[in-house]
């Protein structure tokens, strides 16, 4: 069989490939991970590559235009080596790379949350803490057994009602006590309502104790290595979730995990991701894996199930029941995490199938549940979550917003990584006047905040009407028909983009965004109606989510994603999920607050059974809304388009 | 190499053995377990066999008389196959066989203990209990997660503050709940201060739940299979401890276990023994291993350490510190026990290095710790334990009595199995007037109670004086010199015994017993002196231990083993250790009582540092005592011998 060389750019990595091997397979051999949600069936269109030179054969597909194919664009899974080839793999088609990291100070806290965070750092009662003990050696008149001697000293200064010690630690205890001349460091770990003597070390090792706080996102994993002695985050790393090829959203992950073998595969992938993050953090800081003693994860209910190897099937079956809301604290090694072999793994509690530990964490960090003022919290993502309440009560619901906030389902959509347009201003006729690109340089595509900006601007300059349809007269030559005859708006010509591919927006793209923003807004209205309140009654509206800190309030209000209230009342709290995990790791009190005042007390409202939701949802499918009275500041503008039918 | 046949009697089992193989090795191949404490070094003399026919070669040894060798007696480890041989292995040389079982009703309870036992049976709160639940299926307005739904139902009728559920059970939960139409049986297991959801089974399996109560003796293991639904013991089995070849007493076991490999070997042996008992119990009752959900063991501190694989080394090193007094409850499978894979293993708490869970169990069963009356409890064994106290306080100590109560260190000593003389009456000159043999028939040797009887009778008829020396004039022809010139008393001529070997008693034998009884009596006196009391102040004297129920009070008083008080105040409680384990298994309250009112509150007095003990010990090395005023009933008898020097 003939063998050719396949070279991948920009890495310039060459591997040999037998004739007929797909570019996707050859890339895998080269260690280059290409996005492929359909696992090579040619139906997701996510594995676009650019064949720079060489001979290939290809199956026909619906994802590429004739022009694109002529320029060398190809689906890696449907294109086969037929000679020596050179292929460029664009950023947008890659998976498993490192997403760009929002700086830690991008997370902003509510007033109460700042206090809690301060307390967490000051209290120094981390979930895993080391205590140095110089034990009085036993004598005939003080002949307590080794374990009780240890417990007696541990309890001298603190009240630990239920203390446990496993057999394997117990087996090592007598030897360590005597070899170290009764001077030992005890590692205490919180396990639910009990405290475990997790490990015993000779001498004083109290100076070395780290915890890992992980935001277990469906798309992105972010981890802090936290010094549990000083309370400081010593390093941060992020990574795309390697489960992505099994489905971009939680629903497709659930479907995939119905097969126990696949479920195990998914578990191994996310564990490997966390281990990768850990490895990078250890290299970065010089810390040792053995000194990392606790992992605290905040994730949605599905990711939490997948991490622990629990079957998430019933989460998507009526009446949507998770296996567990507050999973047990386990030995991290039990799932394969490479921290200290005795170290523990905990996850923040969930509230319901579509209300996970990530949102509970958001609520904690925002301070919503610590104040008497009633506020609203919106976590925008593929699965949007909304929480309303204060320190006495919270009611929450979720809304399936779809992937458009993360650039999914959008012709030129992409994640908020290098090349993504995150802000844009348009002039008359839709000409680009200003454009901010993540990482600078030419644009590659549109991330969520860029898309919201763009649609808001198109509406403002009159290129689209309130139903999201293009207005021919205004768009002019920027509007054209694609191969199927559908209209598309050309934002950037091919010469102005990174890959030489036009950046366009279709009516279908706009429609996707309208459905996303509509479901979020409607969820907020439903919660407020449920308690007979309105947006005007809110002290604060907290906005969480990876793209939160890039979002511009006026433009989000313009399309009807956020309510039309005083801009000062909005607070973007950024990736609060991770910060909540960090604070829980640092403070037993924080975790107790999260468990008892949030996780255990929040009421979940199922919108799928709410008639109001179904009836009024369509009212939100306008820009910003059918009822312009809800958006007085927009109505006051001299809107150039006519309102659609109400 | 030449190969011969070796046949072992009475099994009549033949194996082939190459020339030069020892009879001990050949017997092992035949599956016949011969006692060998020195592991074949020829220094313990315990592996006596009778070569009936065939050619053997043998190394010289110090254990057999010329006459015995002429009759075919040989040490199996020092005797080698040199032709086809037929060998009889006497009972006394066997290990690992089934000891004779005292019937359950041989255990007698104190008044309070009877009440506790009754309560244990009535309360039906076993450490492992099954609860049948028909759960309300989840609905949109009752969307609790599976685990909380279960916990809610479990907590409906009972207060379980700290409830835990492991990940592996949690993984199975959703499937079982739905497959069984929300009708499940939950197995709840007590683990220290928490309750674990140990297992979930589809449908109603509450009718099948068994526990194993084990008396973890140094010499003998006895187990009850207890029906945890009815509270009844359905079967009992006993077995010699297979660790015996590594040492007969706890001290030699500790020395052996200093080597981690040997320690693991010892652990495996005792686990295999419990599994053997379990197997026999299951065959006997038709129960299934899967339905055995809890094992409760009562053993001395050393056996407890060995079962759990803990290093017992520090138990025998000053200041005598065990690793743990109250070991954690673990998964029984963790040590290799073949009950339900999810089942639990607990052990009764110890008090000190030489005050184990077996004695704690004795104290519980006797009722000593439940009454306001002050009583004394004596557990007679190689390691003797004495406890003094009532419901408000207990003080205890241990005394190294040596193995003579179990027939050890005595020329013709043996365990209380078939052939052992357990009672004997002598006439003038030491003629045997009456003799009771375990299992009937001709005698084989002397067990502990037989030895006590014999020495008491020899003293009564004047064959020995109060220092335990033979009185020539009285013994007459029954007295002779052995090969070393030492005096021995011939109790039975060779024709009157099972193996055709004389049953004799030497002054060294008598001396061993005197030291044993002296250390027990002195321990009792020390405890009483410690609290400024005397025997006369005691409401009861409880006597525990395997031979307890065979012991005759007047004869035990005569040699000074038991104090000279009103016979009605003695109560033999038999193998109470096992009964305590059974009652703990059946009742959380019983276990709590044992943990809090006995294990956790008893004060251990170390006699090795007590000057009084050292000084007065020698006063007890007379029959019954130097100070006859302590034994008025004996003094009142017309003692035929003169008192020794005081």
Q: Which tens digit of pLDDT belongs to each residue from A396-413?
A: 998 888 878 877 778 888
- Under 8 Å CB pairs connecting chains A and B tally to 153
| Residue B599 vs residue B6, higher pLDDT | B6
What digits encode the pLDDT tens for the residues A551-604? Answer: 888 999 999 999 999 999 998 887 789 989 999 999 998 899 999 999 888 999
Nearest CA-CA partner of A370 in A59, A61, A597: A597
CB–CB contact A192 B162 (8 Å): yes
Q: Which two tokens stand for residue A95?
A: 């998976």
Mean pLDDT of all residues in A532-540: 95
SS3 letters across B530-582: HCCCCHHHCCCEEEECCCHHHCCHHHHHHCCCCCCCCHHHEEEEECHHHHHHH
In a domain, residue A105? The reply is no
Residue B260 shares a structural domain with residue B345: yes
Contact A143 B352 (CB under 8 A): yes
Of A347, A372, A402, the position where a domain reaches its end is A347
Structure-derived torsion over alpha carbons of residues A119, A120, A122, A128, reported in degrees to the nearest 10: 150
Say if CB A635 and CB A629 are below 8 A apart. yes
β-pairing verdict for A394-400 and A602-604: parallel
Task: Give the SS3 label for residue A25.
Answer: helix
Find the mean pLDDT for residues B29-57: 79
Q: Which run of H or of E encompasses A121?
A: helix A111-123
**B140 contact residues in A (CB cutoff 8 A):** 318-320, 606, 608-609
Residue B613 included in any domain: yes
Express each pLDDT in A198-207 by its tens digit. 999 999 999 9
Instruction: Answer whether A328 sits within 8 Å of B609, measured CB to CB.
Output: no
**Which of A41-55, A571-585, B439-453, B458-472 ranks highest by mean pLDDT?**
B458-472
Residues of A whose CB is below 8 A from B147: 323-326
- Interatomic CA distance for residues A533 and A543, integer angstroms: 19
pLDDT digits (tens, 9 = 90+) for A14-61: 899 999 999 988 988 887 878 765 667 776 677 888 898 899 999 888
Strand partners, B572: B543
User: Which pLDDT score is estimated for A245?
Assistant: 75
- The answer to whether residue A116 sits within a structural domain is no
Q: Residue A606 and residue B319: Cβ atoms within 8 Å?
A: no
Same domain flag for A75 and A180: no
3-class SS of residue A637: coil
B412-431 pLDDT, tens per residue? Answer: 888 777 788 989 999 998 99
Rounded to a whole number of angstroms, the distance from the CA of B198 to the nearest CA of chain A is 13
Residue A130's contacts (CB-CB under 8 Å, 6 or more residues apart) are A185, A186, A187, A188, A205, A206, A209, A228, A229
A55: its two tokens: 């001979």
For testing the chain B interface, which of A151, A310, A321, A395 should be mutated: the one with the most B CBs within 10 Å? A321
Instruction: Please tell me whether residues A135 and A280 are part of one structural domain.
Output: no
Q: Using only the alpha carbons of chain A, give its radius of gyration.
A: 27
Contacts of A302 (CB under 8 A, 6+ apart): A218, A250, A253, A254, A312, A315, A356
Residue A480's beta-bridge partner residues? A488
Q: Can you tell me which residue has the tokens 């220290």? A: B192
- pLDDT at residue A240 in the model: 81
Question: Which residue from B minimizes the CA distance to A608?
Answer: B140
Residues A337 and A389 in one domain: no
B171, B320, B334 ranked by CB distance to A167: nearest: B334
Of A148, A164, A325, the CB nearest to B148: A325
pLDDT in tens, A287-337: 999 999 999 999 999 999 999 999 999 999 989 999 999 999 999 999 999
Provide, as residue numbers in chain A, all residues whose Cβ is less than 8 Å from the Cβ of B314.
Answer: 146, 174, 178
**Residues of chain B neighbouring A144 (CB-CB closer than 8 A):** 321, 325
Q: Could you tell me which residues come within 8 angstroms of residue A532 by beta carbon, excluding any fewer than 6 positions away?
A: none
Query: Which phi and psi (to 5°) does residue A227 adopt?
Result: -75, 110
Residues of A in contact with B194 (CB under 8 A): 162, 193-194
Based on the domain organization, do A178 and A227 belong to the same domain? Answer: no
Domain C-terminal end among A347, A376, A394: A347
| Domain extent at residue A68 | 3-93
Answer whether B64's CB lies under 8 Å from B48's CB: yes
> β-pairing, B344-347 with B330-331?
antiparallel
Taking Cα atoms as reference points, which of A341, A406, A409, A399 lies closest to residue A522? A399
Q: Compare CB distances from A323 to B173, B321, B334 and report the shortest one's residue.
A: B173
- Give the Cα separation of A601 and A594 in Å (integer): 10
Query: How far is residue A273's CA from residue A97's CA, in Å, rounded to a whole number?
Result: 11
Please say which residue of A347, A371, A406 terminates a domain. A347
* Yes or no, beta carbons of A606 and B334 under 8 Å apart: no
Read off the pLDDT of residues B112-166 as tens digits, 9 standing for 90 and up.
566 666 766 665 689 999 999 999 999 988 989 999 999 999 999 888 878 899 9
**Average pLDDT, rounded, for chain B:** 88
Query: For the stretch A271-304, what's the b/e string if a residue is b when 16 or more beta carbons lie within 10 angstroms of its beta carbon?
Result: bebbebbbebbbeeeebebbbbbbbbbbbbbbbb
- Asked if A638 and A523 sit in the same domain, the reply is yes
Biggest distance spanned by C-alpha atoms of chain B: 99
ipTM of the complex, rounded to two decimals? 0.83
pLDDT at A549 over 80: no
Q: In the structure, what pLDDT confidence band is assigned to residue B646 with cuts at 50, 70 and 90?
A: very low
Which chain A residues are Cβ-neighbours of B396 within 8 angstroms? none
Domain assignment of residue A310, yes or no: yes
- Tell me the per-residue pLDDT of A605-619, one tens digit each, with 9 for 90 and over: 888 776 777 777 888
Cβ contact (<8 Å) for A146 and B324?
yes
Q: How many domains does chain A have?
A: 4
Q: Please answer yes or no on whether B170 and A143 come within 8 Å at the CB atom.
A: no
Q: How many residues does chain A have?
A: 646
Judged by DSSP in three states, A445 sits in strand
Q: Is residue B20 part of a domain?
A: yes
Handedness of CA B117, B118, B121, B126 (dihedral sign): negative
CA distance B430 to B455: 10
Q: Would you mind telling me the total number of residues written for chain B in this entry?
A: 646
pTM greater than the 0.95 cutoff: no
- Position A96 scores a pLDDT of 47
Name the band, by pLDDT with cuts 50, 70 and 90, for residue B106.
very low
Predicted local confidence at residue A197, as pLDDT: 96
Whether pLDDT at B84 is above 50: yes
Give a yes or no: residue A175 inside a domain: yes
For residues A410-424, average pLDDT: 83
Instruction: Give the side-chain half-sphere CA count within 13 A for B436.
Output: 11
**A196 and A178 within one domain:** yes
* Alpha-carbon distances, residue B421 vs A40, A314, B379, B430 (angstroms): 85, 70, 21, 15
**Both A196 and A218 in a single domain?**
no
Q: Which of A137, A171, A193, A329 to mutate to test the interface with B (most CBs of B within 10 A)?
A: A171
The number of helices, as runs of H, and strands, as runs of E, in chain B is: 17, 29
pLDDT at A34: 81
Give how far A255 is from chain B: nearest CA, Å: 16
Query: Region B268-295: what's the mean pLDDT?
Result: 94
- Tell me the pLDDT band of A353, cut-offs 50, 70 and 90: confident
Contact A309 B175 (CB under 8 A): no
DSSP summary character for residue B45: -
Q: Say what the pLDDT of residue A103 is.
A: 46
| Cβ contact B162–A166 (<8 Å) | no
Let me know whether A164 and A264 are in one domain. no
Judge contact between B385 and B359, C-beta under 8 A: yes
Query: Residue A423: which H helix or E strand, with range?
Result: strand A420-426
pLDDT tens for residues A55-108? 999 988 877 877 788 888 899 989 999 999 999 887 667 754 455 555 444 455
Pairing of strands A503-506, A487-492: antiparallel
Q: Are residues B148 and B198 in the same domain?
A: yes
Query: Are A325 and B139 inside 8 Å of each other by CB?
Result: no
Three-state SS for B590-641 is HHHHHHHHHHCCEEECCHHHCHHHHHHHHHHCCCCCCCHHHCHHHHHCCCCC
- The answer as to whether A111 is a domain residue is no
- Are B530 and B593 members of one domain? yes
The whole-angstrom distance between B178's CA and the closest CA on chain A is 10
- Identify all chain A residues contacting B352, using CB atoms and an 8 Å cutoff: 143, 145
Q: Which of A254, A323, A334, A396 to mutate to test the interface with B (most CBs of B within 10 A)?
A: A323
Q: CB–CB of A174/A167 below 8 Å?
A: no
Residue B86 pLDDT > 70: yes
- Mutation test of the interface with chain A: which of B163, B169, B324, B354, choosing the one with the most A Cβ atoms within 10 A? B324
Task: Provide the CATH number for the domain around residue A282.
Answer: 3.30.420.480
Tell me, yes or no, whether B466 and B593 share the same domain.
Answer: no
Paired tokens of B405: 């109560």
Quick check: is A112 in a domain? no
């Amino acid at each position: 069989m003939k063998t050719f060389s396949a070279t991948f750019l920009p890495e310039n990595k060459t591997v040999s490939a037998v004739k007929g091997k797909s570019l996707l397979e050859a890339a895998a051999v080269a260690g280059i991970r290409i996005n492929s949600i359909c696992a090579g069936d040619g139906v997701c269109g996510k594995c676009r590559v650019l064949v720079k030179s060489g001979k290939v054969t290809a199956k026909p597909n619906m994802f590429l235009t004739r022009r694109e194919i002529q320029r060398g664009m190809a689906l890696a899974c449907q294109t086969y080596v037929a000679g020596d080839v050179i292929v460029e793999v664009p950023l947008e088609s890659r998976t498993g790379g490192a997403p760009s990291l929002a700086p830690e100070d991008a997370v902003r806290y509510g007033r109460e949350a700042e206090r809690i965070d301060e307390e967490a750092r000051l209290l120094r009662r981390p979930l895993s803490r080391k205590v140095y003990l110089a034990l009085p050696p036993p004598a005939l008149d003080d002949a307590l057994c080794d374990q009780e001697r240890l417990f007696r000293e541990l309890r001298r200064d603190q009240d630990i009602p239920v203390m446990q010690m496993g057999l394997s630690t117990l087996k090592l205890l007598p030897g360590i006590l005597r070899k170290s001349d009764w001077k030992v460091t005890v590692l205490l770990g919180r396990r639910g309502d009990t405290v475990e003597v997790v490990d015993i070390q000779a001498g004083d090792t109290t100076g070395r104790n780290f915890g890992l706080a992980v935001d277990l996102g469906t798309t992105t994993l972010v981890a802090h290595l936290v010094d549990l002695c000083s309370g400081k985050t010593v390093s941060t790393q992020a990574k795309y979730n390697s489960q992505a090829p099994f489905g971009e959203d939680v629903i497709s992950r659930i479907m995939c995990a119905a097969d126990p073998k696949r479920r195990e595969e998914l578990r191994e992938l996310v564990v490997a991701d966390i281990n990768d993050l850990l490895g990078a953090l250890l290299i970065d800081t010089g810390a040792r894996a053995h000194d990392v003693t606790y992992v605290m994860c905040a994730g949605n209910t599905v990711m939490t199930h997948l991490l622990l190897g629990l079957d998430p099937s019933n989460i998507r079956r009526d009446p949507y029941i998770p296996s567990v809301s507050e999973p047990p604290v386990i030995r991290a090694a039990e799932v394969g995490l490479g921290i200290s072999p005795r170290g523990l793994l905990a996850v923040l509690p969930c509230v319901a199938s579509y209300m996970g530990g990530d949102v509970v964490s958001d609520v904690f960090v925002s301070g919503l549940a610590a104040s008497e003022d009633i506020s609203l919290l919106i976590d925008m993502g593929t699965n949007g979550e909304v929480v309303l309440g204060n320190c006495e009560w919270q009611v929450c619901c979720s809304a399936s917003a779809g992937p458009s906030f993360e650039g999914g389902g959008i012709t030129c959509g992409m994640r908020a990584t290098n090349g993504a347009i995150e802000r844009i201003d348009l002039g008359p006729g839709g000409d680009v006047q200003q454009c901010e690109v993540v990482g600078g340089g030419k644009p590659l595509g549109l991330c969520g905040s860029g898309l919201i900006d763009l649609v808001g601007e198109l509406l403002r300059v009159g290129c689209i009407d309130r139903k999201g349809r293009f207005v021919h007269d205004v768009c002019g030559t920027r509007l054209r028909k694609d191969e199927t005859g559908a209209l598309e708006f050309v934002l950037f010509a091919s010469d102005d983009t990174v890959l030489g591919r036009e950046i366009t927006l279709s009516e279908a793209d706009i429609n996707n965004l309208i459905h996303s923003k509509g479901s979020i807004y409607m969820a907020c209205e439903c919660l407020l109606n449920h308690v007979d309140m309105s947006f005007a009654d809110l002290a604060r509206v907290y906005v969480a989510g990876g793209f939160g800190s890039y979002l511009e309030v006026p433009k989000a209000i313009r399309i009807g994603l956020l309510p039309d209230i005083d801009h000062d009342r909005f607070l973007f709290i950024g990736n609060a999920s991770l910060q909540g995990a960090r604070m829980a790791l640092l403070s037993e009190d924080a975790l107790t607050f999260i468990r008892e005042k949030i996780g255990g007390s929040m009421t979940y409202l199922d919108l799928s059974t709410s008639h109001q939701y179904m009836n009024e949802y369509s009212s939100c499918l306008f820009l910003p809304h059918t009822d312009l009275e809800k958006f007085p500041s927009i109505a006051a503008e001299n809107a150039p388009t006519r309102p659609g039918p109400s």
